[in-house]
């Protein structure tokens, strides 16, 4: 159950090790300290820099979010790969995944902006299944969509990179 933490005076503690649930009626103020998430203390969430949250894995800053809404992903390793974002999709459950269908969207990068009245969709990049998947076979395509002026936020495909290695452009381009 809940673990009560009480201290005299200002109700602050310098160190606490908790297991179970922490229930508090107000705010848990870490005051710039590290929230350690694993046994060897090298995976944590910190605020090393004012107005920035750092997510650390193996003691390294891997993801940083700042007050400008920017997210930076860093891979600090002696490999040829940098940071990455993975989209994963299946049609079943986590415990029992099932095959995707042609046309399913695996992942999407989406933009949205305020028009003075409401938030409307802007450009998108879709990663989609482009054919019938099978064992060790996942045909995919990348679709680019934009919104034309005066179309009330209606997205339209303007370019497609298909699994057949062909690039298709919308008419008029």
Strands 140-147 and 119-129: antiparallel
pLDDT along the chain (173 residues), means of 10: 51 59 62 80 85 87 88 80 86 94 95 91 95 96 92 87 94 65
Residue in 101, 90, 88 with CA at minimum distance from that of residue 139: 101
Neighbours of 130 (CB within 10 A): 20
Task: Specify the pLDDT at position 23.
Answer: 61
Task: Specify the pLDDT at position 72.
Answer: 87
Burial class (CB within 10 angstroms; exposed 0-12, middle 13-18, buried 19+) of 144: middle
């Amino acid at each position: 159950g809940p673990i009560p933490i009480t201290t005299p005076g200002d109700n602050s503690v310098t160190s606490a090790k908790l297991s179970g649930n922490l229930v508090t009626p107000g705010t848990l103020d870490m005051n710039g300290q590290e929230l350690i998430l694993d046994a060897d203390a090298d995976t944590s969430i910190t605020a090393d820099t004012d107005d920035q949250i750092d997510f650390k894995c193996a003691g390294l800053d891997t993801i940083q979010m700042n007050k400008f809404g920017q997210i930076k992903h860093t891979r600090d390793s002696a490999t040829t790969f940098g940071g990455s974002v993975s989209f994963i999709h299946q049609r079943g459950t986590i415990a029992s995944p099932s095959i995707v269908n042609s046309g399913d969207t695996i992942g999407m990068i989406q933009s949205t902006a305020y028009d003075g009245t409401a938030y409307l969709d802007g450009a998108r990049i879709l990663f989609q299944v482009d054919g019938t998947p099978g064992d060790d076979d996942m045909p995919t395509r990348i679709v680019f969509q934009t919104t034309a002026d005066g179309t009330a936020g209606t997205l339209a495909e303007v370019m497609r990179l298909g699994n057949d290695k062909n690039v298709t452009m919308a008419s008029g381009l």
